[in-house]
Structure 1
Amino acid sequence: MRVVITGIGGYSCIGSNVDEITASLRAGKSGIGLDHERRVFGYRSCLTGIIQEPDLKAQIKRRDRVGLSEEAKYAYVATVEAMAMAGVDVDFFEQNRAGIIYGNDSSAKAVTEAVDIIRAKKDTMMVGSGSIFQSMNSTVTMNLATILKLTGINYTISAACASGSHAVGMGFHLIKSGLEEMIICGGAQEVNPYAFGSFDGLGVFSMKEDAPAKSSRPFDRDRDGLVTSGGGATLILETLESAQRRGANILAEVVGYGFSSNGNHISNPSTESQIISINRALEMAELKASQVDYVNAHATSTPKGDEFEAKAIYEIFGSKTPVSSTKSMTGHECWMAGASELVYSILMMQQGFIAPNINFENPDQFSQNLNIIAESLETELTTVLSNSFGFGGTNSSIILKKYE
């Protein structure tokens, strides 16, 4: 069973739709800025991806809107765009079975606001009726499945920064096994201060506040930490037969999904486990490393993370395969990143270019071994690999090919 992608959508700090995102990727435009309210809140770093919460009053009736968390709103916008591209709508879903699997690993704002109300009022009845549906980790899938009338598989993948990638991988397997014909897959990430306070406390955020656009520096020797960001990204997966029957435009084919667990330290990465994840994807795709045209690296702009992945990529691909981390422009989109970076990779394949790893000025002893693309490169891409690695040692690697 061949699994293809017929629709993609994105809402991020580098664009509120795929056209804007494509332009930013090609131009190497950063979406990172400063949120000064974070300093008052107690943050060490005010750097973040700048993204505005969408106003959905004209699109969704109030009864459905009240249950939407911040990240669910981003996911909704991205999904509507993907649906339009795929040529499906709510009427289609009411007549045809389709599912949803989305990556999400927090709903901090909704939980915090509900608890604050209860503490202040000493009355749980003062919390709005939609709060529970905003607060649950499955907020995206439960809301979108209801609004879009989805009757197929419906669950959330919670796997730290690999959540979005695993969501696509699991959707791929369910379709490939014949259990579903179409699944909406993706990842979402809230960007409010509640979500990242403890993360900031680890001291892993960049402090380059004097130049926000230069703060995220994957693989660069002078990086000093990551920058968090967020939004929503959606990919519509379906069987090749379904896409052909509908006359849908096929954007790409999913051909490999590799995964592994480090089984060791809860936050440190593992080169050996990353190699296993990548090799499993290659084996499933029946490809040699030399047949991969581009690697979209997980690289978040932390010394250890970049080092371990650089060693894994070099071990498998050597020094020739082009590599870049789009997080240099977007920051780390966390639970969304695995899905958004697949969307970014598809846009590159469609438009014939590799997005640059901006701010890569001085390689370190590990990144100097790789073919890091520091400036936008016009080139044809047929096969791409996207890596996503997360806390707890969860690893995911997905390979996409142009449809032939």
Structure 2
Amino acid sequence: MRPELVVTGIGVISAIAQGKADFTEALLAGRSAFGVLQRPGRQHESAYLGAEIPHIVFPDSLPPQTLRAASLSAQTALVVLQEAWDEARLSEVDCRRIGLVIGGSNVQQREIAQLQARYRERPQFLKPTYALSFMDTDLCGFCTAQFGIRGLSHTVGGASASGQLAIMQAAQAVLSGQVDACIAIGALMDLSFWECQAFRALGAMGSDRYADAPALACRPYDQQHDGFLFGECAGAVVIESRAASQRRGAPAYATLSGWRAEMDGNRNPDPSLEGEIAAIQGALAAAGWTAEQIDYVNPHGTGSVVGDETELKALQACGLKGARLNATKSLIGHGLSAAGLVEVIATLLQMRSGRLHPTRNLDEPIDASFNWVRHQPVAHRIERALTLSMGFGGINTALCWQRTDR
């Protein structure tokens, strides 16, 4: 019989809050922090909109010399890992039995672009550590060195589905017996203006319509949506068996009951209705659930015109119109590589609080027949939830979560 997998630790940072307590409060208050992106290296002749982390509070346990050497992506990975590590009491677990999977690829583009510009005319002065830092595995190095992790550690790239893929890989590592506990991190994707410009040229990133009103620009599932808004964020969850967590008295947030990743054989960015349906149905089958048992869905919901409409068609085709539905990206923006994992965290925190956060700017839903949470939070006890993420390259993922008595 397959061991029951649970989440025992959470760490999160976003533009609206750092730490799970403040993040929960900000979500339920419907808070957002959209504006013109301000970080050096993010603007070039165009004013890109999004949401940036205003400041980071570093715990005393993280050495200043480590933080000085770390990129923004590495710093946030260390911060969220520390929060999840402490909550799950992983210091009580043999370090050789702890694993780490980091979701995300090409996550340090802004830092790389700035460094290359700085040393373009004097490459001989480039720091030798660039040979390490341009690789995403450098985040693994920072995290395993700081926390003494001696089990597996690697990155997994799945574009905007990277965070959920990291959870799947962590779950498989525990089920295989390779480790007793595995941390999944959704890494902060640090965009430079090159990526911002490319997303805008592709038609994926908004917003021309609300260029002078950033607070109104992020509009998943609204008739006035015109693309996603980038949002800095990172998150970490600890996956382990219920038996292992109970042995050391670590409470569980929820049970990971089933999951599925489906490819739709498509290199282009457009979504696939068939691929999304297959991922949802596959996850439900793995959990042994029917669609009627799902009472909450946290969807991908980016604000993309084609993407939003395709996702609602997939939910309808799978019999999920009755579940409560909101869009976390309407508050925090699209975290790209981190998005799926941070939205899992939002789901588990709502499950624990018994309330669902509002969907900002959902004034005219493209399909009003769904069971939307719109402008105000609502009381709702989540028993079974479904979280969805899709990534460029034809990647579709779905995870099933069940309430636990802790």
TM-score range, shorter chain: over 0.9
Give the equivalent residue in structure 1 for 2:31.
29
Distance in 2 (CA, whole Å) between partners of 1:378 and 1:200 is 37
Deviations for 1:118-177, whole angstroms, at most 9, x for unmatched residues?
312131xx2234433331122322220121110111000111000001000111122123
Give the equivalent residue in structure 2 for 1:60.
62
The answer to whether the Cα contact below 8 Å between 1:39 and 1:45 also exists between their aligned partners in 2 is: no
1:382 pairs with 2:378: no
Give the equivalent residue in structure 2 for 1:112.
113
Give the equivalent residue in structure 2 for 1:199.
199
1:51 pairs with 2:53: yes
Which has the higher mean CA deviation after the structures are superposed, 108-117 or 276-285? 108-117
1:173 pairs with 2:175: no
- TM-score, normalized by length of structure 2? 0.92
Deviations for 1:355-399, whole angstroms, at most 9, x for unmatched residues?
2222111122xx234222113111111111100001011111111
Which has the higher mean CA deviation after the structures are superposed, 140-149 or 206-215? 206-215
Give the equivalent residue in structure 1 for 2:278.
276
Secondary structure (helix, strand or coil) at the match of 2:258 reads strand
Secondary structure (helix, strand or coil) at the match of 1:74 reads helix
Distance in 1 (CA, whole Å) between partners of 2:38 and 2:177 is 50
Which one-letter code corresponds to 1:368 in the other structure? Answer: A
Which has the higher mean CA deviation after the structures are superposed, 323-332 or 60-69? 60-69
Which one-letter code corresponds to 2:138 in the other structure? Answer: T
1:240 to 1:57, Cα distance in 2 relative to 1, 3 A: closer
Which one-letter code corresponds to 2:207 in the other structure? Answer: S
Distance in 2 (CA, whole Å) between partners of 1:391 and 1:217 is 20
Which one-letter code corresponds to 2:132 in the other structure? Answer: F
Which one-letter code corresponds to 2:403 in the other structure? Answer: K
1:132 pairs with 2:131: yes
Give the equivalent residue in structure 1 for 2:256.
254
Deviations for 1:335-360, whole angstroms, at most 9, x for unmatched residues?
00011000000000000011222211
1:62 to 1:9, Cα distance in 2 relative to 1, 3 A: closer
Which one-letter code corresponds to 1:81 in the other structure? Answer: E
- How many equivalent pairs are there? 398
Give the equivalent residue in structure 1 for 2:400.
399
Which one-letter code corresponds to 2:222 in the other structure? Answer: D
Which one-letter code corresponds to 1:110 in the other structure? Answer: E
Which one-letter code corresponds to 1:402 in the other structure? Answer: R
Which one-letter code corresponds to 1:337 in the other structure? Answer: A
Distance in 2 (CA, whole Å) between partners of 1:307 and 1:218 is 10
- TM-score, normalized by length of structure 1? 0.93
Give the equivalent residue in structure 2 for 1:236.
238
1:335 pairs with 2:337: yes
The answer to whether the Cα contact below 8 Å between 1:99 and 1:180 also exists between their aligned partners in 2 is: yes
1:322 pairs with 2:321: no
Unaligned runs of 5+ residues in structure 1 are: none
Distance in 1 (CA, whole Å) between partners of 2:332 and 2:42 is 24
How far is the alpha carbon of 1:29 from its aligned partner?
A: 1.1
The answer to whether the Cα contact below 8 Å between 1:67 and 1:130 also exists between their aligned partners in 2 is: no
Distance in 2 (CA, whole Å) between partners of 1:6 and 1:281 is 21
The answer to whether the Cα contact below 8 Å between 1:256 and 1:284 also exists between their aligned partners in 2 is: yes
Which has the higher mean CA deviation after the structures are superposed, 337-346 or 201-210? 201-210
Distance in 1 (CA, whole Å) between partners of 2:65 and 2:170 is 29
Which one-letter code corresponds to 1:200 in the other structure? Answer: R
How far is the alpha carbon of 1:61 from its aligned partner?
A: 3.1
How far is the alpha carbon of 1:231 from its aligned partner?
A: 2.0
How far is the alpha carbon of 1:199 from its aligned partner?
A: 1.8
Which one-letter code corresponds to 2:105 in the other structure? Answer: D
Distance in 1 (CA, whole Å) between partners of 2:377 and 2:51 is 21
Distance in 2 (CA, whole Å) between partners of 1:104 and 1:114 is 20
Distance in 2 (CA, whole Å) between partners of 1:223 and 1:80 is 36
How far is the alpha carbon of 1:39 from its aligned partner?
A: 10
Secondary structure (helix, strand or coil) at the match of 2:35 reads strand
1:116 to 1:305, Cα distance in 2 relative to 1, 3 A: same
How far is the alpha carbon of 1:79 from its aligned partner?
A: 1.0
Which one-letter code corresponds to 1:363 in the other structure? Answer: P
